[in-house]
A and B are shown apart, each in its own frame.
Chain A
Amino acid sequence: DSGVTQTPKHLITATGQRVTLRCSPRSGDLSVYWYQQSLDQGLQFLIQYYNGEERAKGNILERFSAQQFPDLHSELNLSSLELGDSALYFCASSVGGTGNGYTFGSGTRLTVV
């Protein structure tokens, strides 16, 4: 167990729907990062939060949004889902914003049908 908890592990939903992916970081970690892994794009950084504030943004679609709550857990919201959004979504956490000590969760596998 890495200490980073992602739920759900699997999600199957229809096009046009909205889903929420949840991440609880490792105890003591203030930074949360979201990554998308798809067959055609590889591993892509989506967004980072540090202690509740958005810190960096990557290739995140406008249909996607995220937030980090006071208890430091984070949610990634995906709306108006398309077939191409099917992917493995990872959350990672680290103590600070410097990247060392990244720990990944086990991922949420999203299938859009």
Chain B
Amino acid sequence: AQKITQTQPGMFVQEKEAVTLDCTYDTSDQSYGLFWYKQPSSGEMIFLIYQGSYDEQNATEGRYSLNFQKARKSANLVISASQLGDSAMYFCAMTALSNDYKLSFGAGTTVTVRA
């Protein structure tokens, strides 16, 4: 079974600064996928970034980058140059073959960006 751990329930960050959201995972699968989603107060789930377990390069999407450390089983999300609109809940999730590729989610981290 897969397990995702997000140890930071909430974080504050100053506008224009970078913030790192922690995510560790546990799986015995060799092939798996790691995701980050953003959920603003309006409720929708917005896909941010994806990292495959065999990808050698860390994934980047605009201001989002995923710091993938396979040996440590961590997949931290870095948001650079934070904006007020980044205030939201952020979820780390993973899929794996042994779990029929369904998403397993962490508990989430609430990010509040201060002006």
Contacts and interface: CB of A to CB of B under 8 A. Distances in A.
B102 A48 contact: yes
Contacts of B85: none
B44 interface: yes
Contacts of A103: 47
Nearest to A106: B44
B39 to A, nearest CB: 8
Given A43-B105, A45-B103, A100 B44 contact: no
Interface in B78-103: 91, 93, 95, 100-103
A99 B105 contact: no
Contacts of A55: 100
A28 interface: no
Given A98-B95, A100-B33, A100-B50, A33 B103 contact: yes
A80 to B, nearest CB: 25
A67 to B, nearest CB: 18
A99 B103 contact: yes
A42 interface: yes
B45 A99 contact: no
B43 A107 contact: yes
Interface in A35-83: 35, 42-43, 45, 48, 55-56, 58
B13 interface: no
28 contacts: A2-B44, A33-B102, A42-B107, A43-B91, A43-B93, A43-B105, A45-B103, A45-B104, A55-B100, A88-B43, A90-B45, A92-B45, A92-B103, A97-B101, A99-B95, A100-B33, A100-B50, A102-B35, A102-B47, A102-B95, A103-B47, A104-B37, A104-B44, A104-B45, A104-B46, A104-B47, A105-B44, A109-B43
Interface of A: 2, 33, 35, 42-43, 45, 48, 55-56, 58, 88, 90, 92, 97-100, 102-107, 109
